[in-house]
């Protein structure tokens, strides 16, 4: 099978090239990058070796390549112009926010800019694999979720669905710096970020809050999320700590049963009652580890992912596996690296 990666020189694109090159079902890979056309891939990306012998190609060359699947790891709104040429021919898995919203004004409020191809809105399935698996199997347009929504939603959705939680939700997230992408900004320099942590874009000012809230609303249960992300000095990794009220007294066993009902058979979700998961446990894996603690009338939920894997490129591969009927864990690790 043939796969293409748009934005192959950014962090999520680079990781997609790596994962695809180790994937048993992928025979040929096209690395598409406007900035590096014609350059040998192993020179442009010195971490590669014996993986991808060719050169970066342009989007124009991609048509000839006829990819079965296209992963777009371009910045928001950059890949929309290309989609019309591939719709109906290739399965598109988009890692940007372009296809995540149904409603044009929701997108535009969150991103502060006009959506240039609103005809695509509402056409893509939201690629939160464990929750939209059946739709993903049938869709040619998959909107891969952001890292914050993935890590926040996975512990919340079962408990909301089962009407355990009251509506006031407070989520605090910690993210590794790779979440900011490979952009030459003062704010992302080693000296600025090492030995430093801070909240940023809290609450109403963060675009991910609306993406998460939208999915919470789909449960049909009332909820009001206040989401505050933080930057912490790691390359990769994400921790979300969410506090909610319990609608009624609930035992650990009841919570455990609910998670077991929803996730008991999931290969990439590990529930670890009685201890808080650490982001290093899932580093390099496509896992989300989940736990909780009950404090009288309130519950604290803990969840961790690798922001570049389950939070981006890994879940994109998982969605490809689902869509094409491969083993869901093909090409992905269930173990965290050291």
**Cβ neighbour number for residue 15 with a 10 Å cutoff:** 23
User: With respect to a copy of itself, which residue has the nearer C-beta, 90 or 321?
Assistant: 321
Please select the residue that binds a copy of itself; options are 80, 304, 305, 320, rule is CB under 8 A. Answer: 304
Tell me which stretch binds a copy of itself (CB under 8 A): 8-16, 96-104, 131-139, 146-154. 8-16
Respond yes or no: is residue 147 known to be catalytic: yes
131 DSSP assignment: H
Phi-psi category of residue 263: left, alpha or beta, with phi > 0 → left and psi -120 to 50 → alpha: alpha
Beta carbons within 8 Å of 193's beta carbon, 6+ residues apart: 177, 187, 231, 233
15 binds a copy of itself (CB under 8 A): yes
Size, binding site for a copy of itself by CB under 8 A:
81
Please select the residue that binds a copy of itself; options are 96, 178, 219, 250, rule is CB under 8 A. Answer: 178
User: With respect to a copy of itself, which residue has the nearer C-beta, 101 or 292?
Assistant: 292
285 DSSP assignment: S
Q: How far is the CB of 306 from a copy of itself (least distance, A)?
A: 10
Q: Report how far apart the first and last C-alpha atoms of the chain are (Å, whole number).
A: 32
280 DSSP assignment: G
Rounded to whole angstroms, the Cα distance separating 159 from 155 reads 7
- Interior CA angle at 63 toward 58 and 66, to 5°? 120
Rounded to whole angstroms, the Cα distance separating 79 from 86 reads 11
Q: How far is the CB of 123 from a copy of itself (least distance, A)?
A: 31
Rounded to whole angstroms, the Cα distance separating 323 from 267 reads 17
User: With respect to a copy of itself, which residue has the nearer C-beta, 128 or 304?
Assistant: 304
Beta carbons within 8 Å of 320's beta carbon, 6+ residues apart: 3, 69, 71, 91, 93, 326
Please select the residue that binds a copy of itself; options are 189, 222, 247, 252, rule is CB under 8 A. Answer: 189
Q: Which of residues 84-113 bind a copy of itself (CB under 8 A)?
A: none
Per-residue binder mask for a copy of itself (CB under 8 A), 202-241, x = binder: xxxx--------------------x-x-x-xxxxxx-x-x
Q: Are 24 and 327 in contact (CB under 8 A)?
A: no
Q: Which of residues 250-269 bind a copy of itself (CB under 8 A)?
A: 267
Q: How far is the CB of 126 from a copy of itself (least distance, A)?
A: 25
**Cβ neighbour number for residue 246 with a 10 Å cutoff:** 18
Please select the residue that binds a copy of itself; options are 177, 212, 246, 290, rule is CB under 8 A. Answer: 177
Please select the residue that binds a copy of itself; options are 39, 51, 65, 140, rule is CB under 8 A. Answer: 51
249 binds a copy of itself (CB under 8 A): no
Q: How far is CA 173 from each of CA 133, 152, 207, 226, rounded to the nearest angstrom?
A: 26, 8, 14, 11
- The angle that helices 129-138 and 147-161 make with each other, rounded to 10 degrees, is 100
Where do we find the tokens 């690395």? 31
User: With respect to a copy of itself, which residue has the nearer C-beta, 302 or 326?
Assistant: 302
User: With respect to a copy of itself, which residue has the nearer C-beta, 82 or 292?
Assistant: 292
Please select the residue that binds a copy of itself; options are 23, 208, 323, 333, rule is CB under 8 A. Answer: 333
195 binds a copy of itself (CB under 8 A): yes
Please select the residue that binds a copy of itself; options are 28, 276, 324, 330, rule is CB under 8 A. Answer: 276
Name the phi and psi angles at 95, rounded to 5: -90, 0
Tell me which stretch binds a copy of itself (CB under 8 A): 75-83, 128-136, 151-159, 167-175. 167-175
Active-site residues, by number, are: 147
């Amino acid at each position: 099978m043939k796969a293409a990666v748009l934005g192959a020189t950014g962090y999520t694109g680079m990781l997609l090239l790596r994962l695809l090159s180790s994937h048993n079902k992928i025979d040929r890979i096209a690395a598409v990058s406007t900035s590096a056309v014609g350059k040998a891939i192993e020179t442009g990306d010195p971490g590669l070796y014996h993986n991808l012998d060719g050169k970066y190609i342009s989007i124009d060359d991609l048509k000839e390549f006829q990819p079965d699947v296209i992963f777009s790891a371009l910045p928001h709104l950059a890949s929309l112009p290309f989609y019309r040429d591939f719709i109906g021919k290739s399965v598109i898995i988009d890692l940007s926010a372009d296809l995540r919203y149904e409603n044009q004004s929701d997108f535009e409020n969150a991103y502060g800019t006009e959506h240039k191809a609103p005809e695509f809105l509402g056409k893509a399935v939201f690629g939160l694999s464990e929750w939209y698996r059946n739709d993903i199997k049938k869709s040619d347009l998959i909107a891969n979720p952001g890292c914050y929504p993935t890590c926040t939603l996975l512990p919340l959705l079962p408990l909301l669905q089962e009407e355990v939680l009251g509506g006031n939700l407070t989520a605090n997230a910690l993210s590794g710096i790779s979440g900011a992408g490979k952009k030459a900004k003062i704010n992302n320099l080693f000296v600025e970020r090492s030995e430093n942590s801070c909240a940023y874009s809290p609450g109403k000012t963060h675009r991910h809050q609306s993406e998460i809230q939208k999915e919470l609303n789909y449960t049909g249960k009332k909820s009001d999320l206040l989401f505050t992300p933080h930057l912490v000095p790691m390359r990769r990794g994400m921790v979300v700590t969410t506090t909610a009220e319990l609608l009624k007294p609930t035992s650990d066993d009841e919570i455990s049963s609910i998670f077991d009902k929803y996730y008991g058979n999931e290969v990439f979700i590990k529930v670890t009652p009685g201890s808080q998961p650490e982001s290093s446990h899932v580093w390099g894996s496509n896992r989300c580890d989940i736990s909780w603690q009950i404090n009288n009338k309130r519950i604290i939920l803990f969840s961790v992912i690798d922001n570049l894997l389950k939070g981006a490129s890994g879940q994109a591969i998982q969605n490809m596996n689902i869509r094409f009927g491969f083993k869901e864990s093909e090409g992905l690790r269930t173990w965290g690296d050291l």
